[in-house]
């Protein structure tokens, strides 16, 4: 009797150990609305049944050897007892699979077209009002590929780090102190290098200024102790799972706060339709990458320095649903009246202190023009649609490449800008080595109007000139502002003298090249002026 009790406890102990080890590596959420949870539950049942079956077979073989009886006779007696638990387990697993199929059917698009359409709310926007003109020196000219190349070059300059660490290929785009920046952490080169350095942690992260290409390796006073390249309880995913066992996590991004402290931002998933359909985000866990301290925030509580809560691919998928099921499921199959879809690509736009996803919207029956475009705040998911028809992005890219076809440059995916209140695509033109060589502005409405140059300023000037040549200059109405100069300072940038002017009662900082006015070098605080502006760049100064 005692021997049977011991064997029973041993079987359950072995099963528990195998299940626990599996959980350590798989890390499913303990949440019934997660598919991963049910998959792990099935796996656990299989382990328990397998251990029970193995013990039965092992006991049979042992008794057969000891008693020296015929195997086939004993097998029919002993193994017949396996039938009941296997049948029960099989029924349980089949029931879970059936319930999963039913849950998927309940959440199917054919039954929930309106709910899928409402996953994202889109309102109409005013482009000239919502998308302010920016200075030419604030335009992001670095895409993700170029940022990666710059980061690798920077790490290669650090002889004390390059032998032990690599760059983790994240490069999250954020707004940092008013500038668009891509940021990514280092990671351990391999497990041996982890053993050599894990006591102090990962010593630095990399930032790439998207407007100037300036790349910095930011060394930390205390190293990053929680990362995806860590092991045991400092492994990022494991640390999150054991602190928040029921949360369903989405994408995890790397960001820094206004003080430069590194954080992991782990979005938490909610399902709006049925059991596990209609994926959405309901909050995020912010984990300090250095100390491991963490806190869960609902969407309304998330600090404003956080820029990316909603994964771009999730937003694009919800835009697909919104455009597809605007008039119901069957209209999306037959007729397709008013059915829209995002164009094949997206980019990011910095507005105020937030990062917005930009993508064009086109009819499903057309692939060469956009009916408009959307901007989505990646922290709040606030989304606006701008009904501005024009060329879709790849047509604009081809148009820009055509201007320099003899150089065989390739275009980056466009960034949408407001140039003199005209929606305008901006692209960088790169050579075969992936280095940025030129820039281009392409008019959204008339994509044959392209301005190119070796600098952003030169490309803009060429673009404005061509707008005038094509008789669309009537739409270009330069802004003017009157005021008294509160502060004026100068700096030499790339060999050019640039003046920075702030007016009394106006928080904006305006810039002007020394060539704007012969009097500019002699201008003092208190001067009364009228500034003619392109964005925040001064094109003309009148003194009163």
* Structure-token match 């960034």, residue found: 415
Give the per-residue pLDDT at 228: 94
pLDDT above 50 (res 384): yes
Name which of 539, 537, 129 is nearest 352 in CA terms: 129
Residues 6+ apart with CB under 8 A from 119: 272, 278, 280, 318, 321, 322
Task: Provide the Cα torsion 174, 534, 477, 532; round to 10°.
Answer: 140
Give the per-residue pLDDT at 50: 84
d(Cα 359, Cα 338) in Å, to the nearest integer?
A: 18
Name which of 183, 171, 253 is nearest 217 in CA terms: 183
Give the per-residue pLDDT at 74: 46
d(Cα 168, Cα 226) in Å, to the nearest integer?
A: 13
pLDDT above 90 (res 433): no
Q: Residue 241 in contact with residue 27, Cβ under 8 Å?
A: yes
Span 185-209, average pLDDT? 94
| Cα Rg, the chain, nearest whole Å | 31
Q: How far apart are the first and last CA of the chain?
A: 107
d(Cα 237, Cα 220) in Å, to the nearest integer?
A: 22
Query: Is residue 77 very low, low, confident or very high in pLDDT (cuts 50, 70, 90)?
Result: very low
Give the per-residue pLDDT at 2: 59
pLDDT digits (tens, 9 = 90+) for 128-146: 788 877 776 678 888 888 8
- Quote the tokens at residue 229: 């390249």
The upper half-sphere exposure of residue 361, i.e. CA atoms within 13 Å in the direction of its Cβ, equals 26
Q: Residue 199 in contact with residue 193, Cβ under 8 Å?
A: no
pLDDT digits (tens, 9 = 90+) for 272-322: 999 999 999 999 999 999 999 999 999 999 999 999 999 999 999 999 999
d(Cα 78, Cα 71) in Å, to the nearest integer?
A: 10
Give the per-residue pLDDT at 85: 66
Most confident range, picked from 353-357, 510-514, 531-535: 353-357
- According to DSSP, the residues that pair with 93 across neighbouring strands are none
In the chain, the percentage of residues whose pLDDT exceeds 70 is: 89
Q: Residue 417 in contact with residue 424, Cβ under 8 Å?
A: yes
Which residue did the predictor score with more confidence, 57 or 401?
Answer: 401
DSSP 31-92: -TT-HHHHHHHHHHHHHHHHHHHHHHHHHHHHHHHHHT--HHHHHHHHGGGGHHHHHHHHHH
Most confident range, picked from 48-52, 232-236, 370-374: 232-236
Query: Is residue 420 very low, low, confident or very high in pLDDT (cuts 50, 70, 90)?
Result: confident
pLDDT above 70 (res 75): no
b (16+ CB within 10 A) / e for 91-125: eebeeeeeebeebeeebebeebbebbbbbbebeeb
- According to DSSP, the residues that pair with 349 across neighbouring strands are 356
Mean pLDDT, the chain, whole residue set: 86
d(Cα 254, Cα 266) in Å, to the nearest integer?
A: 9
Residue 217: which H helix or E strand, with range? strand 215-224
- Quote the tokens at residue 423: 């929606």
Name which of 136, 279, 154, 246 is nearest 205 in CA terms: 154
d(Cα 313, Cα 324) in Å, to the nearest integer?
A: 16
Q: How far is CA 219 from CA 201, 224, 407, in A?
A: 12, 10, 40
Give the per-residue pLDDT at 84: 65
Q: Residue 488 in contact with residue 511, Cβ under 8 Å?
A: no
Most confident range, picked from 121-135, 242-256, 469-483, 516-530: 242-256
Q: Residue 202 in contact with residue 224, Cβ under 8 Å?
A: yes
pLDDT above 80 (res 472): no
**Beta strands 479-493; 528-534: pairing state:** antiparallel
pLDDT above 90 (res 344): no
Query: Is residue 389 very low, low, confident or very high in pLDDT (cuts 50, 70, 90)?
Result: confident
Query: Is residue 5 very low, low, confident or very high in pLDDT (cuts 50, 70, 90)?
Result: confident
Give the per-residue pLDDT at 498: 84
Q: Residue 349 in contact with residue 415, Cβ under 8 Å?
A: yes
Give the per-residue pLDDT at 319: 95
Residue 468 CA to its chain's centroid (Å): 38
pLDDT above 60 (res 418): yes
Q: Residue 158 in contact with residue 205, Cβ under 8 Å?
A: no
* Structure-token match 């009157």, residue found: 482
Most confident range, picked from 302-306, 417-421, 486-490, 534-538: 302-306
pLDDT digits (tens, 9 = 90+) for 149-178: 999 999 888 878 888 999 999 999 999 988
DSSP 8-state symbol, 413: P
Span 401-410, average pLDDT? 91
pLDDT digits (tens, 9 = 90+) for 92-123: 788 888 888 888 899 999 999 999 999 999 99
Residues 6+ apart with CB under 8 A from 543: 519, 523, 527, 528, 529
């Amino acid at each position: 009797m005692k021997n049977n009790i011991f064997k029973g406890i041993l079987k359950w102990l072995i099963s528990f150990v195998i299940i626990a080890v599996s959980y350590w590596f798989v890390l499913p959420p303990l949440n019934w609305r997660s598919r991963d949870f049910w998959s792990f539950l099935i796996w656990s049942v299989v382990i328990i049944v397998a251990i029970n079956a193995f013990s039965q077979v092992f006991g049979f073989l042992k008794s057969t050897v000891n008693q020296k009886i015929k195997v086939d006779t004993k097998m029919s007696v002993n193994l017949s007892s396996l039938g009941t638990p296997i049948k029960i387990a099989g029924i349980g697993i089949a029931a879970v699979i059936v319930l999963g199929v039913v849950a998927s059917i309940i959440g199917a698009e054919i039954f929930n077209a309106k709910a899928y359409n409402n996953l994202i709310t889109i309102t109409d926007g005013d482009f000239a009002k919502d998308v302010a003109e920016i200075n030419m020196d604030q335009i992001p000219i670095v895409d993700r590929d170029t940022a990666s190349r710059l980061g690798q070059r920077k790490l290669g300059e650090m002889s004390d780090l390059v032998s032990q660490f690599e760059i983790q290929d994240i490069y999250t785009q954020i707004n940092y102190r008013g500038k668009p920046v891509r940021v990514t952490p280092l990671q351990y080169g391999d497990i041996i290098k982890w053993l050599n350095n894990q006591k102090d942690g990962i010593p630095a992260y990399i930032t790439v200024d998207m407007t100037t290409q300036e790349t910095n390796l930011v060394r930390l006073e205390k190293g990053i102790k929680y990362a995806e390249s860590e092991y045991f309880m400092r492994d990022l995913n494991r640390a999150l799972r054991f602190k928040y066992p029921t949360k369903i996590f989405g994408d995890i991004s790397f960001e820094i706060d206004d003080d430069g402290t590194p954080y992991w931002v782990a979005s938490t998933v909610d399902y709006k339709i049925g059991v596990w359909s209609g994926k959405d985000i309901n909050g995020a866990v912010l984990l300090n990458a250095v100390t491991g301290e963490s806190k869960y925030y609902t969407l309304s509580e998330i600090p404003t320095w956080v820029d990316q809560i909603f994964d771009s691919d999730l937003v694009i998928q919800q835009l697909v649903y919104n455009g597809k099921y605007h008039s119901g499921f069957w209209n999306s199959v037959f007729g397709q009246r008013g059915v829209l879809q995002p164009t094949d690509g997206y980019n990011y736009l910095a507005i105020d202190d937030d990062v917005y996803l930009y993508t064009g919207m086109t009819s499903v029956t057309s692939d060469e023009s956009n009916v408009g475009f959307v901007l989505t705040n990646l922290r709040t998911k606030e989304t606006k649609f701008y009904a501005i028809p024009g060329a879709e992005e790849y047509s604009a890219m081809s148009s820009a490449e055509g201007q320099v076809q003899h150089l065989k440059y390739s275009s980056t995916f466009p960034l949408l800008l407001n140039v003199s209140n005209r929606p305008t695509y901006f692209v960088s033109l790169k050579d075969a080595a992936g280095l940025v060589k030129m820039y281009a502005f392409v008019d959204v409405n008339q994509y044959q109007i392209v301005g190119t140059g070796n600098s952003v300023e030169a490309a803009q000037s060429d673009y404005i000139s061509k707008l005038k040549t094509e008789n669309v200059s009537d739409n270009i109405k330069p802004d003017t502002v009157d005021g008294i100069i509160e502060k004026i300072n100068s700096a030499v940038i790339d060999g050019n003298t640039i003046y920075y002017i702030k007016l009394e009662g106006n928080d904006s900082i305006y810039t002007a090249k020394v060539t704007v006015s012969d009097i500019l070098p002699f201008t003092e605080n208190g001067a009364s002026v009228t500034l003619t502006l392109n964005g925040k760049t001064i094109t003309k100064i009148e003194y009163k």
